[in-house]
Amino acid sequence: MYYTIKETVEALKKGEVTSAQLVKNSVETFEADKAGERPLNAFLEMYEDALSKAEAADKEIEEARASGTVDALYEKKPLLGVPFANKDNISCRGNRLTCGSKLLDGYVAPYSATVISRLENAGAVPLGRCNQDEFAMGSSTEYSSYGATRNPINRDYVSGGSSGGSAAAVAANQALFSLGTETGGSVRLPASYCGLYGLKPTYGVLSRWGVVAYGSSLDQVGIMGHTPEDIALPLSAMCGADMYDDTSADLPGSDSLRTLKPYGDFSSLKIAIPKQFLETKGLDPDVGAVFDSTKKWFEEKGAVIEVVDLPVLEASIASYYVIALSEAASNLSRFDGIRYGRRVDNGNGYDELYKDTRSEGFGPEVKRRIIIGNYVLSEQFSGSTYKKGMSVRARIQKEVAALYEKYDLILCPTCPTPAFKLGQKVDDPLEMYLSDMYTVFVNLARIPSINVPAGRAAGTDGMPVGMQFAGPMFSEAKLLQLALAWENDHKGCGVPVKE
Amino acid sequence: MAIDKYEIVIGCEIHTQLLTKTKAFCACENRYGGMPNTRVCPVCLGLPGAMPRISKGYVELGAVAGHALNCNIARFTKFDRKHYFYPDLTKGYQITQYDIPLCTDGHVDLPMHKLPKEQQFGGEKCRPKNFVGDDCIIENGKYRRVRVERIHLEEDVGKSLHLQGTHSYIDYNRSGTPLIEIVTKPDMTSPEEAALFMETVQEILRYVKVTNGNLEEGNMRCDANINLNVWEDGKLYHTPISEIKNLNSFQKIKDACSYEAQRQLKEFQEDRQPFNPGFKVTMGWDDDKKCTVVQRTKNSFVDYRFVVEPDIKPFSVSEELISRALEKVGELPEAKRTRLKKEYGLSDFDVETLTQTRDLAVWFEEAAKNAKDVKKVANWILAELLAVLNEKKETINDVTITPAHITELVNAIADKKISNAQGKTVFAKMLETNKMPSVIIKEEGMETVSDAGAIESIVDKVIADNPKAVSDYKGGKTNVVGWLMGQVMKASGGKVNPKAATELVAKKLASM
Ligand SMILES: [Zn+2]
C-alpha cells in the first residue's frame, strides 16, 4: 500500500502497481489481522465485488497507457483504481450494510449512496465496509454489535467513534482514504484519536442520499486521510448538489481542490478562540499543551488570535442531544423487522413483533437514545423540549455566523482528551457524551471543520492529539489550504507510521 | 329525568388522493391498482438511506384545493413526521404537515335543496354550536356553510390484506401517494349533512381536477367525528366524541353517523360517559352488520411524537404558484349553475346535467358562444350527444367532434337551411365522420332551396303539369293547395323552403 493518493496514482499510471494488487494486498492484510490475537476490527467485511471493480479499472488504465492517453484518462477519472474504505452506514449497491447493528443482519443495499456512485464515477474502488458504533451512536466504536475497533497506534486504545473503523483502516494503511459520517463529531473525533486529517464539510455539501440517517439535520458525510490532499481530491469528486437530496448544496470554489495549494497569506488571518473552550474543566493538560503550540504556529506565521466570548456554546451539548436524539428516534422507526433486516416474530401480533425485533436487534446505547428521543418528542411535554432545542440551535447558528463576519477561523482542540483505553468509559454514557463538547457546535451551525494531527500526549502512551480548524459555511477549500500549510510544516506530527 | 332534546355534532376529516403524475416524494408513478409492489422504490419503501423529495405539482395541487375550498394559502410552510407503528407504514412515520398546514380557514357551502325537507332551513337544528351569528345560513337558507379549519399535505400508506389465519400481505404500491387532508369544524348537524358535505367536496375537487374522487378506488375517504349535545332537565351535556374511520361512500357516512348518534344517546341514557376534550374513541364501520365497532378506546392515548421533517427543507410558496393555482380553480360548480341559469335561461335540470363535470360545462359554453339558439344547443347536447356517450360509456373528453359542430348544426336549423328531421341525419353523420354540418349538408344535397327564382320555376312547372288540380281549385276545392305543395316538394326532392313554396302556390292559383 502506498501512503498517499498522489503516490498511488503515479504508480498506477506507470504500471508499477495495479488496482487489483492494491485490493488483494488490503484483503490479505485484513485477513491476517482478523486471524491475529488482537484484531483491529477496522473493516467488518471486504466487498466481494472490490476485486472485479479494480480489474475493470486496471483494464481502462492499461488501454489508455497503450494509446498514450493515460493522463487524459486521469483528468476525467482522477481516482481511477484507488481503493477506499467505506463506513457501514453508507449504501454500496449489491453489498451488505448493517450500520454496526444486528438488526440489519442480512440486508443488502439495492442502490448506492450518491457519495459512493460519485467516487466510482471518478474511478475509485470501494474496498469494504468499516466498523462503527451501532447506528453511529457513540464516541469510541465500542457500541458496535460486531465488537470494538482497536486503535492501530496502540491497540489498547479506542479508535474514536462512531467512524472508528474508517479511521483505523486508514491509520493502519489498509486503505488510502475512507468515508465516515458524523452527527456531532464522529469523523473528526476518530481522526483525532488515530492521528489523521478528517474533514466534516458544510452541511449539504456531500449528499446524504443512501446514507443511513441518525440525526438528519446534523448528519454529514466526512473524509479521512493521511494528508489534506487525500481529503481534497475525494471531496472534489463527491461534492455538489444532488437532486436526490433536498438538503444538498453546491460547494463554491471546489475546482481549487484538485490541485490544492498551501495557504499563504497568514497576515490577514483572524482567528477566534471561544473563551468557553478554554475554561473547560475536563481539558487534558497534554491536549492543552498541543493547543498552545498550535496557537504559537499560527502567531509565528503572522495570524492574529483573539479570545472571544460565545456564551451560547454552553448550551450546545444540550441542544445537540435534544435534536440529535429526537431525529434519531424518528429515523430508527423504520427498523421494525417488517420489510428487511432481522425479524423476531413469535406470532403474537404486530405489537409483539415490533417489540421483540427492536428489543433483540438494537444494542443498549441505541435503545437509550431512542428512549430519550421519544421522551423529548412526546406530547406529554407538548414537544416543548424539542422546540427549545431547535430555538437554541437557531441562536447558535446565528451567533456563530456573526462571529465569522469578524474572524476567518475558530481554533480549538477536537476533543478535550486524547484517546482513552478500551472499556474505560463504556459504562459511563455521560462521560462519553462529553467527548463531543468541542465538536457539536460545528454540526449545529452547519459549518465545515477539519481535524489536523497536532501532536502527541505523553500521558497516554503518546497517543495522538488533534486540533480543529472550523471555518464559515463553504470555506472547505480554505480549511484544506490551511491544513496543507500545517502539514508541510509538521508532516503529520510523526503520528502515522509509514511502512 | 327526561331528555328534552338532543343535537348531533359532526366534524369531518376527508383524505383525498391528488392527481400528480408521481408519488408525493419519489418518482414512482401515481396510479391505482396493478400487480402488488410493482410501483415501489427505496423512498416509498422507506429503505435505509432513502430520502424524500417533493414531487412536481404536489404543492400546487394542494393550493388549488385550498382555493377551491376558499382557504388562505400559507406563504411559507414545511413538512413534519407523525409516528406510529403499523406494517403498512414503511418508515415508522408518515410525512405530513403539523403546525403549518398549506391551507387554512376556508369554507364549503352546502346546497340545502339536496337535504331532506325538514333539515333545510330555519330552527336551531340548522345552527352549529359555537358558531358566531347566523353566518352559516347563506342566501336565506339556500346554503349552509361548513367551515374548513385546514387542509394539509400528507403521504398515503400502503394497503394491507389480512387473510384468514396466519398471514397478512402488504401492497406498497399506494405507499407515498400524495394526499390532502381536509379538516372541518364541527359544523354539521345531521348524518345527511355530513354525507352532503363529502359529496359537495367531491364535486368541487373533481371540478378543479385535484382528484379523481373515485370512492371505490379509495381516492377519497372520510373520518367522521361525532358526538351529541343533550339537554336533560334543562341542563346541557356533551357525549364523548367518537371518530369513525375510513368511510368511503356517502351511504356509509349516513349509516355510520346515524347509528353512532343513536348508540351515543343510548350510552348517555345508560351510563353517562363524561365528555373529555383531549380523548376520543376510534371506531370502524361494519357495513355487513351495520354497526360501529370500537377499534381503540379512549384510554389508549395515541402520541404521534411530531418532529420537523429534517430531510425536506422548509419552503416558500411563491405568489406565482398561488395565482397559478387560483387560475386553475376558475368558476366552481355552484357559481356556474347560477350563472348558466341566469345567462341562458336554462332549466334547473338542464343546468344540473350540463355542469356535471367542468369539461362538459366548458364544452357547452363553447358551443353556445356563436349559436343562434342556446336552448337548442343545450337540447342537442343533453338529448342527443349525452345519450350517445352514455351508450358508449364515454365522457365529453372522448368526443371527437368540436363544440363548433353543434353550433353549426343548431344554426343551420335555426336558419331553416335544414329541417329538424334532417338535423338528426346530419348529427349522426357528423359523429361518424367528424365532418362539419355545412359540409355534410352540401355533400348530401340537403340544403333547402330558398332562392325565389328557383322555387318559382318548380311551382310553375307543377302547376303547368297538373291542369286538373287548377280547375278543381277554381271549382272551389281549396285543399288542392296542399296536394300541389306535396308535388312541389316531390319535384324538388324536399329541398324547397316549405313556407315560401306554399305562399307562392297559393299566390299563383289565386291569380289564375
Ligand atoms: Zn417510490
| Contacts for A88 with CB less than 8 Å, ≥ 6 apart | A44, A97, A98, A99, A100, A129, A130, A131, A132, A165
**Tens-digit pLDDT profile for residues A229-271:** 999 999 999 999 999 999 999 999 999 999 999 999 999 999 9
Specify the pLDDT at position B444: 77
- From the CA atom positions of chain B, what is the Rg in Å? 32
Specify the pLDDT at position B299: 57
Span between the terminal Cα atoms of chain A, in Å: 8
* Residue in B80, B85, B295, B304 to test binding to A, most A beta-carbons within 10 Å: B85
Specify the pLDDT at position B298: 55
B319 pLDDT higher than 80: yes
Specify the pLDDT at position A499: 38
State the catalytic residue, choosing from A87, A200, A425, A478.
A87
Nearest-Cα residue of chain A relative to residue B90: A334
Of A166-170, B163-167, B241-245, give the lowest mean pLDDT range: B163-167
Rounded to an integer, what distance in angstroms lies between the CA atom of residue A324 and that of residue A183?
A: 7
pLDDT band at A383 (very low <50, low <70, confident <90, very high): low
Nearest-Cα residue of chain A relative to residue B312: A246
Say whether B307 and A327 touch across the interface (CB within 8 A).
yes
Specify the pLDDT at position B357: 87
Check: CB of residue A110 under 8 Å from CB of residue A97.
Answer: no
Q: Distance from the CA of B46 to the center of ligand 1, in angstroms? A: 9
Say whether A379 and B303 touch across the interface (CB within 8 A).
yes
| Contacts for B478 with CB less than 8 Å, ≥ 6 apart | none
Closest CA to B201 of B192, B191, B211: B211
A381 has a chain B CB within 8 A of its CB: no
The whole-number average pLDDT for the span A470-499 is 86
Contact residues on chain B for A110, CB-CB shorter than 8 A: 42, 47
Contact residues on chain A for B166, CB-CB shorter than 8 A: 347
Specify the pLDDT at position B166: 73
Specify the pLDDT at position B4: 82
Specify the pLDDT at position B173: 96
Q: Distance from the CA of B84 to the center of ligand 1, in angstroms? A: 20
Rounded to an integer, what distance in angstroms lies between the CA atom of residue A395 and that of residue A392?
A: 5
Say whether B303 and A347 touch across the interface (CB within 8 A).
no
Specify the pLDDT at position A497: 47
pLDDT band at A1 (very low <50, low <70, confident <90, very high): low
Specify the pLDDT at position B123: 46
Specify the pLDDT at position B121: 60
Q: Distance from the CA of B285 to the center of ligand 1, in angstroms? A: 31
B27 has a chain A CB within 8 A of its CB: no
A340 has a chain B CB within 8 A of its CB: yes
Question: What SS3 state is found at B144?
Answer: strand
Rounded to an integer, what distance in angstroms lies between the CA atom of residue A8 and that of residue A82?
A: 7
B141 pLDDT higher than 80: no
> Is A491 an annotated catalytic residue?
no
Cis omega (within 30 of 0) on the bond before A166?
no
Specify the pLDDT at position B467: 83
Alpha helices per DSSP H over B272-357: 319-329, 333-344, 348-354
A50 pLDDT higher than 60: yes
Instruction: Domains for chain A: give ranges and CATH numbers.
Output: 5-266+412-490 (3.90.1300.10), 315-387 (no CATH)
Please give the mean pLDDT across all residues of chain B: 89
B296 has a chain A CB within 8 A of its CB: no
A167 has a chain B CB within 8 A of its CB: no
Largest CA distance in chain B: 106
* Residue in A87, A105, A112, A336 to test binding to B, most B beta-carbons within 10 Å: A336
Closest CA to B377 of B417, B412, B348: B412
Check: CB of residue B441 under 8 Å from CB of residue B412.
Answer: yes
Contact residues on chain B for A215, CB-CB shorter than 8 A: 310
Q: Mind telling me how many Å the CA of B303 is from chain A's nearest CA?
A: 6
B125 pLDDT higher than 90: no
Q: Mind telling me how many Å the CA of A436 is from chain B's nearest CA?
A: 22
**Tens-digit pLDDT profile for residues A62-111:** 999 999 999 999 999 999 999 999 999 999 999 999 999 999 999 999 99
Task: Identify the residue whose cell numbers are 491544513.
Answer: A483
Alpha-carbon distances of A141 from A148, A163, A295, B304, rounded to whole Å? 5, 7, 30, 32
The whole-number average pLDDT for the span B135-139 is 67
> Is A186 an annotated catalytic residue?
yes
Number of H helices, E strands in chain B: 16, 18
Say whether A212 and B49 touch across the interface (CB within 8 A).
yes
Rounded to an integer, what distance in angstroms lies between the CA atom of residue B58 and that of residue B289?
A: 39
Contact residues on chain B for A90, CB-CB shorter than 8 A: 49
B479 has a chain A CB within 8 A of its CB: no
The DSSP secondary-structure symbol of B39 reads S
Closest CA to A320 of A231, A427, A438: A438
The whole-number average pLDDT for the span B83-106 is 96
State the catalytic residue, choosing from A101, A159, A163, A186.
A186
Say whether B311 and A216 touch across the interface (CB within 8 A).
yes
Question: What SS3 state is found at B434?
Answer: coil
pLDDT band at B219 (very low <50, low <70, confident <90, very high): very high
Pairing of strands B220-232, B3-17: antiparallel
Q: Residue A351's CB: how many other CB atoms inside 10 A? A: 10
Question: What SS3 state is found at A307?
Answer: strand
Within 238-257 of A, beta carbons closer than 8 Å to B belong to 243-247
Q: Mind telling me how many Å the CA of A139 is from chain B's nearest CA?
A: 22
Q: Distance from the CA of B44 to the center of ligand 1, in angstroms? A: 4
**Tens-digit pLDDT profile for residues B420-461:** 888 888 999 999 999 999 888 888 777 666 666 777 888 888
Specify the pLDDT at position B133: 46
Question: What SS3 state is found at B27?
Answer: coil
> Is A388 an annotated catalytic residue?
no
Check: CB of residue A331 under 8 Å from CB of residue A369.
Answer: no
Phi, psi values for residue A158, rounded to 5°? -75, 160
Nearest to B307 among A107, A211, A330 (CB): A330
Task: Identify the residue whose cell numbers are 488496482.
Answer: A19
Q: Distance from the CA of B42 to the center of ligand 1, in angstroms? A: 6
Rounded to an integer, what distance in angstroms lies between the CA atom of residue B38 and that of residue B48?
A: 19
Which sign does the torsion angle of CA B27, B30, B35, B36 carry? positive
Specify the pLDDT at position A348: 86
Q: Distance from the CA of B30 to the center of ligand 1, in angstroms? A: 9
The whole-number average pLDDT for the span A447-464 is 94
Say whether A246 and B49 touch across the interface (CB within 8 A).
no
Say whether A246 and B51 touch across the interface (CB within 8 A).
yes
Nearest-Cα residue of chain B relative to residue A96: B48
Instruction: Domains for chain B: give ranges and CATH numbers.
Output: 5-321 (no CATH), 331-444 (no CATH), 452-511 (1.10.10.410)
Phi, psi values for residue B50, rounded to 5°? -80, 145
Alpha-carbon distances of B118 from A327, B114, B124, B190, B192, rounded to whole Å? 54, 11, 12, 11, 11
DSSP string, B462-505: HHHH-HHHHHHHHTT-TTHHHHHHHHHHHHHTT-B-HHHHHHHH
Nearest-Cα residue of chain A relative to residue B308: A327
Q: Distance from the CA of B41 to the center of ligand 1, in angstroms? A: 4
Say whether B48 and A212 touch across the interface (CB within 8 A).
yes
Q: Mind telling me how many Å the CA of B96 is from chain A's nearest CA?
A: 14
The whole-number average pLDDT for the span B260-269 is 94
A86 has a chain B CB within 8 A of its CB: no
Contact residues on chain A for B53, CB-CB shorter than 8 A: 243-246
Specify the pLDDT at position A405: 97
pLDDT band at B132 (very low <50, low <70, confident <90, very high): very low
A277 has a chain B CB within 8 A of its CB: no
What is the pTM for the complete model shown? 0.89
State the catalytic residue, choosing from A26, A117, A144, A162.
A162
B158 has a chain A CB within 8 A of its CB: no
A159 pLDDT higher than 60: yes
The whole-number average pLDDT for the span B286-306 is 82
Q: Which helix (H) or strand (E) holds B148?
A: strand B143-155
pLDDT band at B321 (very low <50, low <70, confident <90, very high): very high
Number of A to B CB contacts under 8 A, please give it. 110
